[in-house]
């Protein structure tokens, strides 16, 4: 069973392009292709459809692989880019790889072509999956940030011994600070003038098993007490990863 392969070929020679297509067919691919040899034609091809792989001669009369890599970068398209050329020096090959080429092959030795294409297709899928995961993580973090900042509870994250790492605007307002930075310069102990209230709070933070990392909590006023300043107690506690 053959594998469909949308192949953009950057090549000024029709014969060399035909040899590439023949080798792909021998390797089990069913390539559909377009051959271009100018920057304008490449841009149009990239805009016209989606490609699985780009096979590029290094140097053509009006175009070269480095120019092509610049266009690909400008369009923010992650397509495997494999140079297939008649001759290329080590320094030139290194420069092309640094510019974004995934690999390079010689036209007189195409035995690695299909292996290289399959490898780079797999790597492209992995990169796409990673980008998707990172986008989901950013979305999740943004949702949490909005929840944290807009929550009417006085939320904060602290170490088990009470050092405030971060807090939300409600925490700032509740304790009369002027900013989250000012609040973070205090530790929780300074907000608990009563020793028993402090001990109860610390016990709540540490009740989770193996509490070695930061903890996050919400705080609310305790029952009124005969104290000149308010006492606060933890109403929920959880360990963060």
The sign of the CA dihedral 205, 208, 211, 213 is negative
* Higher local confidence (pLDDT), 176 or 226: 176
* Higher local confidence (pLDDT), 98 or 170: 98
> Does residue 109 register a pLDDT over 70?
yes
Instruction: Name the segment(s) of the chain with CATH classification 3.40.50.2300.
Output: 3-135
What's the pLDDT at 39? 96
Tell me the whole-structure pTM to 2 decimals. 0.61
* Higher local confidence (pLDDT), 192 or 112: 112
Work out the pLDDT band at 184, boundaries 50, 70, 90.
confident
Work out the pLDDT band at 141, boundaries 50, 70, 90.
confident
Instruction: Name the segment(s) of the chain with CATH classification 3.30.450.
Output: 151-239
Domain 151-239 top-level CATH class: alpha beta
What's the pLDDT at 222? 38
Average pLDDT over residues 66-95: 92
* Mean of the per-residue pLDDT values of the chain: 81
> Does residue 197 register a pLDDT over 80?
no
Instruction: Give residue-wise pLDDT tens across range 42-63.
Output: 999 999 999 999 999 999 999 9
Domain 3-135 top-level CATH class: alpha beta
């Amino acid at each position: 069973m053959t594998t469909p392969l949308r192949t953009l070929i950057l090549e000024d020679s029709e014969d060399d392009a035909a040899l590439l297509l023949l080798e792909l067919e021998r390797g089990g691919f069913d390539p559909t292709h377009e051959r271009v040899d100018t920057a304008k034609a490449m841009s149009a091809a990239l805009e016209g459809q989606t490609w699985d792989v780009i096979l590029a001669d290094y140097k053509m009369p009006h175009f070269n692989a480095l120019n092509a890599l610049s266009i690909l970068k400008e369009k923010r398209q992650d397509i495997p880019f494999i140079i297939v050329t008649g001759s290329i020096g080590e320094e030139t090959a290194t420069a092309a790889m640094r510019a974004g080429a995934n690999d390079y092959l010689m036209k007189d030795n195409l035995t690695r072509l299909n292996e290289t294409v399959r490898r780079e297709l797999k790597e492209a899928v992995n990169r796409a999956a990673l980008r998707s995961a990172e986008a989901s993580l950013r979305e999740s973090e943004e949702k949490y940030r909005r929840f944290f900042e807009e929550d009417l509870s006085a939320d904060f994250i602290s170490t088990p011994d009470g050092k405030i790492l971060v807090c939300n605007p409600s925490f700032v307002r509740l304790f009369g600070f002027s900013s989250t930075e000012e609040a973070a310069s205090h530790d929780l102990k300074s907000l608990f003038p009563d020793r028993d209230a402090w001990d109860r709070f610390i016990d709540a933070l540490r009740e989770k098993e193996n509490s070695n990392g930061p903890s996050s909590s919400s705080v609310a006023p305790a029952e009124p007490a005969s104290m000149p300043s308010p006492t606060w107690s933890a109403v929920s506690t959880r360990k963060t990863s």
